[in-house]
Amino acid sequence: MAALLHRLVPVWLLPLLVARTILAVPAHPMITPAPDIRDRVAARDFDPGNYINSVLSGLGSDVSSYEASGVPQFFQDFPSGTAVESSLGIKDSDLAATPTQVLNIPAYANWTDDGWNVRVHGNVYKQPNISESKLNSLANVFLVGTDIEDLPQAQQTQARNLTAEIFVVQQGDVNVTVNFENDVDVDPDASGGVINAKGGTQSLQLPYSTTVEGDFDAFIKLKNTTGPNGGHLMAGNATSSIQALNMYTNGTDTGNATAYLVPPTGFTIISDIDDILRVTKIYDPKEGLLNSFARAFTPWMNMPEIYANWSATIPNFHFHYLTTTPEQITRNYMEFIYKTYPLGSFDTRPLNFSDVSATLSIRRALLDKIFQTFPERKFVLVADTSNSDVMKDYPQMVHDYPGQVQCIFLRNTTATDSSDLFPYDTSGFKDIDQRQYMFFVTPDDLRDVDIVGGNCYNPAVVQNVTFGYQGRGFGNAGSLIKWNLSWSWFSVAVAMCLLF
């Protein structure tokens, strides 16, 4: 235990962390009105690089890489497999009669010389039987500053359900078979022009069994089988339409998702979710945890209207949702998206990676995969400034994949939310044409951009961009240190929960 705590935080800091165990229950999140349009991106005469490093160095050399890279993610390093069994006091034999379940992630498929090639990915697991009292204890570790029993009943239920999704036991060395059916119910005007495939019904076994962590991720080739009325899959080089097939995993009624057959050319939007499509406040630990763990997912302002307009006006627009939230808890994300935004494929943080670089930079690894899968498509990237890897990776994609990045839209969270204290770095945009990117404050800022025409900057949204570190928190060391202590205490709490 001591070794684990030392890895998470220096011993000398523990008394300070313990002092932060009593936190006030945060107010429900409110959207701050947009400031004057001239204050969209403001420079600061300050060198935050040294400032951030000095704050983080005070937390020890082994501080989490998520924190060291900028704003940490809420849910990382979840327990899996034997760690879950140990924390719950169960054994493999206790799960023998428990049904196997599958999380199937909505997939994309590309066209090749051999036909359609669909990427099937997800996780196989078993759900232990956990008592309500135990779920309450586990949930309270994540509900920093409050107790689950103090929440409204609906929020208690969501917190328990999400906790149960975290504490599952992944199943390794399992053969996965997927059944494809052309029974997708889509509204083309609300789904980027997606149509139900007229053929393609078939059953295919993945070429590899699941990893130790229960993950599966493989491209498999579809046969062009005919449909009930003699229909068939359209060749990718003969159509601009996005065809959809439903996927059902053999042996369980939980492994259902949709595969999107995306032609080689056209436009694909890769959209972040937290603080872009929903209110999360990922930069505020207490609020972010409540918004993610207990409160119902709430759209950010009128962003659904903007996406619906793009879906209806940009021909065959492929929507792809990328979140670095671990896959165990992405069902809420997918349910929210499909109730609120256009249908589309998904990427999440899997439990297993084949190389270290992907583990350390998951967003970039997932971006590379989809860019390389569709080398002729043009991409629209949408995210926010609170994520440091976005600020680094998105402008770099312009240089690494010339001609493929059509637009970059970044919400400036510091301009509207005083709780976002962490600086962000705009230096990667220095040599990029202004028509190719825009920092925005409200969804309405995106109304007058011309994505298809390649003019991604609304001139009414004054940028005032200087290339370097921007944002709040400058000269306010106490606030930023307090912010980091909150995160360090949260890490310790999670570790103690898993030990006991």
pLDDT category of residue 357 using cuts at 50, 70 and 90: low
| Domain assignment of residue 88, yes or no | no
Q: Please give the single-letter amino acid code of residue 395.
A: P
Residue 86 lies in a domain: no
Whole-angstrom Cα distance, residue 410 to residue 381? 8
What mean pLDDT do residues 334-363 have? 80
In a domain, residue 389? The reply is yes
Which percentage of the chain shows pLDDT scores above 90? 56
CA distance 321 to 461: 26
* Crossing angle of the two packed helices 477-499 and 132-142, in degrees rounded to 10: 150
Residues 215 and 295 in one domain: no
- Within 8 A by CB and 6+ apart from 33, the residues are 416
Min mean pLDDT across 160-174, 363-377, 464-478 is at 464-478
Residue-number span of the structural domain to which 63 is assigned = 2-23+49-78+478-499
Q: What is the mean pLDDT of residues 258-282?
A: 96
Same domain for 222 and 336? Answer: no
Pair 421, 276 in one domain: yes
The backbone torsions φ and ψ at residue 180, rounded to the nearest 5 degrees and listed phi first, read -100, 135
CATH code where residue 442 lies? 3.40.50.1000
**Residues 386 and 288 reside in one and the same domain:** yes
Q: Is residue 14 over pLDDT 90? A: no
Output the domain CATH number for residue 223. 2.60.40
Same domain flag for 257 and 357: no
pLDDT digit string, tens, across residues 96-142? 889 999 999 999 999 999 999 999 999 999 999 999 999 999 999 88
Residue 177: beta bridge partners? 205
The answer as to whether 164 is a domain residue is: no
Indicate the pLDDT class of residue 188, thresholds 50, 70 and 90: low
Count up the domains in the chain and report the number: 3
Q: What is the pLDDT of residue 31?
A: 30
Which regions of 55-185 does DSSP assign to beta strands (E)? Answer: 100-105, 107-112, 115-126, 169-170, 177-181
- Is 277 a residue whose pLDDT tops 70? yes
Among residues 436, 439, 442, the alpha carbon closest in space to that of 456 is found at: 436
Q: pLDDT value at position 156?
A: 96
Q: Encode pLDDT of 406-432 as tens digits.
A: 999 999 998 888 888 778 899 999 999
Same domain, 111 and 220: yes
Instruction: Return the pLDDT at 419.
Output: 81
CB 275 within 8 A of CB 281: yes
Q: Are residues 472 and 484 in the same domain?
A: no
pLDDT of amino acid 479? 44
Do 309 and 284 sit in the same domain of this protein?
A: yes
Question: Could you tell me if 452 and 442 lie in one domain?
Answer: yes
